[in-house]
Chains A and B, each alone.
Chain A
Amino acid sequence: MTAQPLPEHPDFLWRNPEPRSSYDVVIVGAGGHGLATAYYLAKNHGITDVAVLEKGWLAGGNMARNTTIIRSNYLWDESAAIYEHALKLWEGLPEELDYDFLFSQRGVLNLAHTLQDVRESVRRVGANRLGGVDAQWLEPDEVAEVCPILNVSPRTRYPVLGATFQPRAGIAKHDHVAWALARRADEMGVDLIQGCEVTGFLKDGDRVVGVETSRGRIRAGRVGLAAAGHSSVLAELAGFRLPVQSHPLQALVSELHEPVHPTVVMSNHVHVYVSQAHKGELVLGAGVDSYNGYGQRGSFHVIEQQMAAAVELFPVFARAHVLRTWGGIVDVTPDASPIIGTTPVENLFVNCGWGTGGFKATPAAGWTFAHTVATGEPHPLNAPFALERFATGALIDEHGAAAVAH
């Protein structure tokens, strides 16, 4: 295993057109999900009269701020199905997009440190295998074989009692994923418009007919929101509410090191997740800051706690240094599952509430949201993730079930 240089990329991967006055479909937000939605609108549904509006720069929000972990080992069938669809798409996308974005299926270990963790983990492995998701339960000595630098000694404060292992999980170079999707969407005729903030919605009764933006009025047959942490701000402008709360989610990287960490390790209980990027940085993340926030930063004690957890698990990291920390804004739902579907406003659709798990879902979010926007009806994979579930009670409760603390 050696550190890989990043591939060269061309100077220009997409045009920067002026917004036209009208489109069949306007997608709000040019992050991973917005770009994937535009890509699949064009590729799967032949809808190319599409604009993706971005208030900042392309893929500069959570797409630039995540820890790039890709996995599908969720507990509930609905979740496992959509994340597994994403994982299968990830496996084909580098070739399909003709762009090596360093998708590396190095596996993910989800550690168990308590008897309760062990029971939940074994249950989740069983559920995953029944659902066609690769999953194994590993005893501590087997965990050490997969990740030799992990401390599995019984003498630690929270000993590793075992782990679930999904070999097909992994990481990818997040920026390149966005650029790969953007290039293909652009080639198929989608207008990617940066520096264009949506400031209001044009409505005809209960029907959306366009958006007001910082670059003028744009009429649209259909509008799809893919704005992550700012979804509730947009929903309020459009005249409806979303059951999401925006929180800061922080991550950090160390300086570059020789490749020492062969997989992805996540621990709910001591609460950290760690991988090593291709260039050599250790990439660490943990849970959200407790308070609501739109500031793209959080409190330092959250960083301190995740570093303490990382050093507990990986004594070899004790002399690594924090190079950078940053925060994104994640929109968290009451059941820690996303909302993808219709809204109370006709022809306005929403993809939000991915919380801390949005990056891994990028292709499936795009696939199902494109289907929803194109047909007006949810795809079978996102039908359970409708906004209506909060009134019907058919929640998909991944809090504590999804192998990560949110």
Chain B
Amino acid sequence: MLLITCPWCGPRDEAEYHYGGQAHVPYPERPADLDDEQWAAYVFYRDNPKGPFAERWMHGTGCRRWFNVLRDTVSYEVLASYRLDEPRPELPQAGGNR
């Protein structure tokens, strides 16, 4: 079981959280201008990296707030957790040969 640190409540078991997939996916700036391919990309296509991945979690049995986690999808190591209004943290090895 993962041990995830909620930015407001502190470290809690994974079972307290709900997963929300890739973080930092902005709503299209000009939705009316999108064609079908671009809508498909926004609605259905998400990154699926093998390595560090910024993803959303929600603390369902705690403060019930969404936040972001940077986690390695191979080792499952939680590298950082941060609020939605914070940018993805730069880690020394993030994106590298972890």
Contact = CB atoms under 8 A, between A and B. Distances in A.
Interface string B44-67: 111010100101000000000000
Interface in A295-321: 295, 299-301
B79 to A, nearest CB: 14
B44 A294 contact: no
Interface in A252-268: none
A115 interface: no
Nearest to A297: B76
A331 B36 CA distance: 24
A156 interface: no
A246 B74 CA distance: 11
Give the secondary structure class of B's interface.
mixed
Interface in A268-306: 290-295, 299-301
Contact of A294 (B19, B40, B73): B73
B60 to A, nearest CB: 11
A194 interface: no
Contact of B48 (A244, A295, A299): A244
A292 B48 contact: yes
B24 interface: no
A242 B45 CA distance: 7
Contacts of B71: 291
A221 B76 CA distance: 38
A391 interface: yes
B76 A334 contact: no
B2 interface: yes
A119 interface: no
A390 B76 contact: no
A233 B44 contact: no
Given A244-B48, A290-B18, A392-B36, A299 B2 contact: yes
A292 B40 contact: no
A338 B66 CA distance: 31
Given A295-B76, A299-B2, A245 B55 contact: no
Interface residues of A, number: 24
Given A232-B48, A299-B1, A245 B21 contact: yes
Contact of B73 (A241, A295, A334): A295
Given A241-B45, A301-B15, A294 B74 contact: yes
Nearest to B57: A291
A299 B44 CA distance: 26
A243 interface: yes
Contacts of B37: 391
A62 to B, nearest CB: 16
B50 A294 contact: yes
B14 A295 contact: no
Given A295-B74, A301-B1, A391-B40, A245 B18 contact: no
Contacts of A244: 48
Interface in A1-50: none
Given A246-B73, A390-B40, A391-B37, A292 B2 contact: no
A293 B76 CA distance: 7
B75 interface: yes
A391 B18 CA distance: 28
Contact of B46 (A245, A299, A391): A245
B44 A334 contact: yes
Interface in A163-207: none
12 contacts: A241-B45, A242-B48, A243-B40, A243-B44, A291-B55, A291-B71, A292-B48, A294-B74, A299-B2, A301-B15, A390-B40, A391-B40
Given A294-B74, A334-B44, A392-B36, 20 more contacts: A230-B50, A233-B50, A242-B48, A243-B45, A244-B48, A246-B73, A291-B2, A292-B48, A292-B73, A293-B74, A293-B76, A301-B13, A331-B48, A334-B43, A390-B40, A390-B45, A391-B36, A391-B37, A391-B39, A393-B36
- State the 9 A-B residue pairs at the shortest beta-carbon distance, nearest first: A290-B19, A232-B48, A391-B40, A243-B44, A299-B1, A390-B44, A390-B40, A391-B36, A334-B44
